[in-house]
Structure 1
C-alpha cells in the first residue's frame, strides 16, 4: 500500500484522504506474512487499529536495577552481578544452577532447560544482567529461567527507559514479536489517521474533559514512562485507561441500542388490554396484587399496546410474585387472538408454571399447551399440532420450545423466565418464532437480581422493571452457617422440625458439574438420612429421575406425604411448598451467591418461622467465608447480587453462556461502573447526532464479535 509522508506534496491534503489505521492490513508491517497474519487473526487483530487497541494486560518495570540484597519474593526485578559459580545439579530434575553476586548479596539462577553452549557461557567472573520473578527456593531466593544479557564491567549497559508491556498472546506469537509489531504500528500512527470518535466530554479528568487525545492515550499505554504509576496501571485506574474504558463501554452500549433500534424498526402488532378478561382473571385469583406487582403489570400493559416490540426485563426477588405478572401479560396477548409462549430453564420450573397457569387460565376458557424435552413422541406430536393450529393459546415449555419443528400459528408474546440460564442464541431463536411480518413482544424475567452496573451494560436493549415488594405473610428466612463436624446436631434439628409437622429440604452439591455424580451423591445422602431418621418420611429428587418419577416425588412433598426432600440444585427454581420451613445446603461454599439465594427462597413461603442452614466443609477458604457471611447478613437479593459481582465478576454473575456480551478488553464493570451514567447519556446523543461515529466505535471495539449482542 502506498503511503504519503508528511513532507510530501500531498501534505496539504485533508485528513479524510489519508487511509485510516483500520484500513491498513497488518501485512503492511515488516515481518508479517500470511502465516503470522493468521495467528494475529486469532487475537482478532486484522488491521493496524486492531493492533493498537490490543492493549497490554500488565507491565514490567525494567527501568531500574534492584540490589540483590533488597529483593523480595514474588516480585519481578532487574538485577546485575558477577557469576561466582555455575554447576549442573542432579535432583528430582537436572538443572543448571548459577550463583550471582553483587555488593549486597547473592541469588541463585536456575535453568531446567539448557544447552552445553549455554553452560559454557556462564563462566565464573562474567557479569550478567537478569530479569525475572524472584521465588523462594531450596537455597533462598531464586530466579527460574530469567531473561539475561552479558554486560561489560567497564561500561554500564543502558536500562529500559519505559515500562515494558505484556500483551494477551496466543500460541506461536511471542511477547517480543508483539512488542515489535506494536512499535511499528505506533510509528505509523503519525502517518495515518486514528480518528477521535468522542466529542468533548467533561467529567473524566477532574472536570477538565478527556485525559489527552486518543493518540496520546494509545501511545502512553503501549509504552508508559519510567515514572508512571505502576499501581494505577495494574489497577486500571490511570486516566488514559479510564478514557479508553469509557470508549469501550460506550461501544458495547451502542451495540445493544442498535439491536433495540433494529427490533423496534421491524414493528409489532399492538395488543391493547382486554379489560373484561383481565377483570375476570383478577376476580378469580383469590388474593390481591401488591402495589409493586400492579405497577410493573401496568408498565408491561402499556408496552404491549404499542406498535413496536416490547423488550422488558422484570426483576423480582425470590417469592415477589413474578409469575402472576407474567400471566397478566399472557392474557393481554391471548385476549387479542395471539399466542403467548413461556420458556423455563428446568423441567421442574416449567411444570410449576404449567400448574399455575392452568389453574388460573383454564377456568377462563384458555387452552394451555405443554412442551418438554422428555415427552413421549405421541404426546409431543399432539402438542405440536395444537401449537401450529393456534388451539394452544398459551404454550409452556423448556428449551424444547425453540426447536426447529415447533411452529406457532401466531406468536405475539414470548416470556423467558430465569433468562440468565439460557444462552444468547436460544433467546434469539425463540424470538424468531414470531415470523417475518413482525416481531413478538418479549418479556424477560429473573429472580436473580442483576446489579445495576450489569443491567445498564449487558441489558441496555431492555427496559427494566423491578418488583421490589414481597406479598404479605412472607417471613424472613434466618440463615446460620455451621461446620460439617456438627452434622449430627443438624440431623436432629431436621427430626424436630418434621415431628412438629413442618417439612424440610436437604440439598446436595458437588464440585463436578455432573448430573450423574450429583444424583449418586443425593441417593447416598437420602439413604443415610432415612437410616438416621426412621420416623421421618424421606423423598428424593435429582436430574436423572424420569419426569413421571420426579413429578411423583414433588407431588408427595407438596401434599405433605413426604416430610424431608433430599435434592440436588434442580429445586433451585420452581418449587413452592408453604409448609417447608427448613433447608439444609451441604457444601454451600461450592455455589455462587445468586444460586444460594435462589435455593434459600424455597423456604419462608408460609407464615412459620423459617431457617436455612449452610453446612460447609472445612477448611473454608477466605473467599468461601465471604460468600457465606453475605448470605447470613442479608435476605435482600439486590444486595446479594452486588456482593456477588464484587466477588465473582460479571462473566460469572451473568453465566458463562452470556459472557459474549461482557468480554471487555480493557473495561471492568465492577471497577468502571461509575462511568456508565455518562456512557448512557452520550450513547443516546451519538445515536441521534452522529450515526457515522456510532458505526466506527462499535467496529473499533467489538469488531467481529458484534453478533453476540444480537439477542
Structure 2
C-alpha cells in the first residue's frame, strides 16, 4: 500500500446530515471533529434487544427486554413524585416499572391495555421485581420487529442525546472505506487479528451471538485489534521522539569526576549500592555527545537528590551549568538547602529562583545565571520564564516531572546555549512507575531505579481508623511528644468547606492547640508566604515544634528523622501514590514509626481497596502497580497536562501482555515501512506527538 495515499476519515463531521454548527461544537468539545473520531468513539456497553424474555424468567441484576400489557398506572407523592406502571405478559409474570423523573403527559402513554416493550435491569422491590427508569416504547397494532444486532451504548456527549449520537455514528460508519483504503498494517505483520474495518464494524454492531462478556471486559479479538494499533502508534511516536532527540548534539562531560569524588567523600553517610549503580549509568550517559534522557525512579527517601547533586558536579566540572526544577516552592527550597549545604564547601555557587523572588534579589539571581557565576540553579517553573537566560545550561534536572505541563518541560529543554547543544535531561520521581507504564508511556526514556533504602530506615506501621477515634489519636500524640518525638497531622483542605466533609487545616490547628496545651503546634499550608512556611518547617526540623499541622504541601521532600507519627485526615480522599508519599515523611530515623489513616465512613469500594493496600505493603513499586490497576495511567502520570497515554481503546493494565508484540511490530514497521508508521501516528495521535515525550 502506498504511504502517500490520502488518509480516509479526515472529513469534518459537518459533512454528515444532521450535524449543524451547534452540534458540531458540542461534539468538538468532546474531542470529536472528524469521521474517524466517530469511528473510534467506541461503545462502553451493549444492550441486547434482539430477543424478548418472559417476565417470569427475569433474574435480578440481569438486563433484559420484555413485552407486556399495562394493567395499571398511578402517580404517587410519598416523599417525592413517582410514577408506577404495572406490566403483565403471556407468561403470567408481573413487573413494576418505576419512574422518578416524568412529565404529566407521560401518564397518557400508559393507559391500561397498552402494549409496551421495555428494556432495563430488574431488581427486587417491595412487591416483586421492578425496573427503575426503563427505556420503553408503546407498540401499535403491528408486530414491531426486534433488533438484529446488539444496541451499542456510547459514552455521553454533553448536549447530544444518545439516540442522535447513535444515528451520527451509524452514518459515519456508512462512509467507512474498504480494507484497501483503511488498512495500514500489512497482512504479514497483522497475523490472526481481523482487519481494522472488520474490527470497527464488529465493535459498533456486534451480532446477537457475540460474546458479551469478552466485549464488556475489552478482550474480544476485535477490541484487541484496535488496542494493538493504538499502542503501536503511541510507541512509534515515543520512539521517534527519542530518535529526534538523539540526533541533536549535547556537551560531553567526560572529565575525571574529581568534584564528584570530593562530594561523595564529604557526605555524612555512605551511598547505597543502588545509588552508586544509578550514578554510574547517569555518568555514562553524560560522557556521550548526545542528550541524555533518563528517568530515575526511587521510593520515598531512597536518596535521589544525592544522585542529582553528583550529576550536577560533572556538569560544573566541565564548565557548564546545571538547573534543578521542582513543582512546589517548598520542595524546591528543600532541594536548594540540600545542594547548597553539599556544594558550597566545594566552591560551587548555587542560586535560587522562584516566582516570589523579586526586586534586587531576583535581579542578582538573573545576572548570576546569565553570566555563569551561578553554577547550579534551583527553582520552580520560574526557571522557564522568558527573562531567564543561562550562560551554558548543560544539565536540566526535573523533579516529579509528571507534575509539570508539557510546554513547561519543553521550555526548559530549549534553554540550552547558543552553540546549538541541547542540555542533558535527568528526570526524577518518587512515584515508582509500574513496569507496564514504563514500557509504554516512558518508552522514550532510559529508566533507572534506586530500589534500595539507606540502612537504618525502619518499616512504617500503617493503620486505618474511623474519624470517631480522633480523641485516642490526640492522646497518642501527647504521649509521643512527651517522649521527645514529633508528629505530622495532614489535612486535605485549608479552610472549612460545607461541601466536603473534611477537617480543614486551620480549624484542626486551632483544635489541636487547645487539646494539647503542653505541645508546640505549627501550621503550614500552600497560601502562606514562602518565608513563613520556611520558618515553620525549620522550627519543626530543629525540634522546636512537636506537632506540625499541614496540607499536602509536605507530600514530597520534607526530611525530619525525629518525626515518627503521621496522621492523614480524610485519607479516603487521596490516591495511593499521595498516601505513600505522605507516609514516607516518617520512618526516617531509628524510632519505630506509624502512619494513621483517618477516614470518614462510609467508604467507597475504591477507598477501601486503597486503605487495605496501604496497610499491606510499604513497597512503592507494589503500590504503583495497584494504583495503576485502581486508577489507570492518566491519574498516575498527570496526563491531563500531557496527553500521554490518554488512550481511546487500549488499557495499559488490561493490555499489558500485548506490549512485547507491539514493540516487535514497531521495530519491523519502522524498518520496513516508515511511511506507514507516519500515518499510524497521525491517525491515533495527530499533532500531539511532539508533546508525548517532552
TM-score by length of 2: 0.91
Please give the alpha-carbon distance, in whole angstroms, between the structure 2 residues aligned to 1:613 and 1:93. 42
CA contact (8 A) 1:201 1:210 kept: no
Moved more, 422-431 or 17-26: 17-26
How far does residue 608 in structure 1 lie from its aligned partner after superposition? Answer: 2.2
Question: 1:642 Cα shift?
Answer: 0.9
1:351-389 deviation digits (Å, cap 9, x = unpaired): 111111111111221110001222242211211111122
1:691 alignment counterpart: 674
Aligned to 2:146: 159
- Structure 1 equivalent of residue 452 of structure 2: 469
Larger mean Cα displacement after TM superposition, 279-288 or 66-75: 66-75
CA distance in 2, matches of 1:265, 1:404: 26
Select between 492-501 and 669-678 the one with higher mean Cα deviation.
492-501
Q: What is the alpha-carbon distance in structure 2 between the residues aligned to residue 94 and residue 513 of structure 1?
A: 35
Q: Over residues 656-694 of structure 1, what are the superposed CA-to-partner deviations in whole Å (9 max), with x where a residue is unaligned?
A: 544621221111112111212222232233223321111
**Following superposition of structure 1 onto structure 2, how do residues 67-78 of structure 1 map, counting pairs within 5 Å?**
67-72=54-59, 76-78=63-65
Deviation at 1:582, TM superposition (A): 2.2
User: What is the Cα deviation at residue 294 of structure 1?
Assistant: 0.9
Q: Report the CA distance shift for 1:109/1:503 in structure 2 as closer, same or farther (over 3 A).
A: closer
Query: What is aligned with 1:668?
Result: 651
Q: CA 1:188/1:581 → structure 2, altered by over 3 Å: closer, same or farther?
A: closer
Per mean C-alpha deviation after superposition, the further-off stretch among 255-264 and 132-141 is 132-141
Query: In 1, Cα distance between the equivalents of 2:30 and 2:509?
Result: 49
SS state at 1:412 partner: strand
Match of 2:522 in 1: 539
Report the Cα distance in structure 1 between the residues aligned to 2:675 and 2:633, rounded to whole angstroms: 30
Structure 2 residue 278 is the aligned partner of structure 1 residue 296:
yes
CA distance in 2, matches of 1:510, 1:518: 10
Match of 1:9 in 2: none
Gap change, CA 1:508 and 1:170, over 3 Å in 2: closer
C-alpha displacement of 1:293: 0.7
Structure-1 separation of matches of 2:509 and 2:16:
66
The equivalent residue for 1:701 is: 684
Across the two proteins, how many residue pairs are aligned to each other? 689
* Structure 2: gaps spanning 5 or more residues: none
**2:585 corresponding residue in structure 1:** 602
CA displacement at 1:52 relative to structure 2: 2.2
**Matching of residue 57 in structure 1 with residue 39 in structure 2:** no
Deviation, 1:25, is 5.0
CA contact (8 A) 1:506 1:583 kept: yes
Give the Å deviation of 1:261. Answer: 2.2
Deviations, residues 372-417 of structure 1 (Å, cap 9, x unaligned): 2222422112111111221111100112212222221221111011
Measured after TM superposition, the shift of residue 75 of structure 1 is: 5.0
Q: Is the alpha carbon distance of 1:300 and 1:292 closer, same or farther for their aligned partners in structure 2, counting shifts above 3 Å?
A: same
Distance 1:518 1:422 in 2: 29
Which residue in the other structure is 1:128 paired with? Answer: 116
Deviations 1:164-215 (A, max 9, x none): 112234245343334334434444435574433234578x9xxxx3322222
Distance 1:442 1:143, change over 3 A: same
For the residues of structure 1 that align with 2:469 and 2:207, how far apart are their CA atoms?
Answer: 57
1:93 deviation in Å? 6.4
Residue of 387, 400, 403 corresponding to 2:385: 403
1:678 aligned residue (658, 661, 667): 661
Tell me the C-alpha RMSD between the 2 structures: 3.0
**1:606-657 alpha-carbon deviations (Å, 9 max, x no partner):** 2222222223333334432321221121111101111111222222222354
Map 1:568-607; keep pairs closer than 5 Å: 568-607=551-590
Q: Is the 8 A contact 1:81 1:102 kept in 2?
A: yes
TM-aligned CA deviation for residue 341 of structure 1: 0.6
Cα distance in 1 for residues equivalent to 2:524 and 2:22 = 54
The CA distance in 1 between the partners of 2:536 and 2:139, in whole Å, is 75
1:471-494 CA distance string (max 9 Å, x none): 122222222233333333322222
Distance 2:348 2:144 in 1: 85
Alignment match, 1:211: 193
SS of the aligned residue for 1:613 comes to strand
8 Å Cα contact 2:241/2:690 also seen in 1 = no
Structure 1 residues 135 and 404, CA, compared in 2 at 3 Å: closer, same or farther? farther
Q: TM-score, normalised by structure 1?
A: 0.89
Aligned-partner Cα distance in 1 for 2:6–2:525:
61
Higher mean alpha-carbon deviation, 136-145 vs 437-446, is at 136-145
> Does the 8 Å contact 1:651/1:658 carry over to 2?
no
**Worse overlay, 615-624 or 378-387:** 615-624
1:363 is aligned to 2:345? yes
Structure 1 alignment gaps of length 5 or more? 1-13
Q: Which moved more, 1:554-563 or 1:310-319?
A: 554-563
Matched, 1:305 2:287: yes
Alignment partner of 1:83 is 2:70: yes
Alpha-carbon distance, 1:696 to partner: 1.1
- Residue 318, structure 1, aligned to residue 300, structure 2: yes
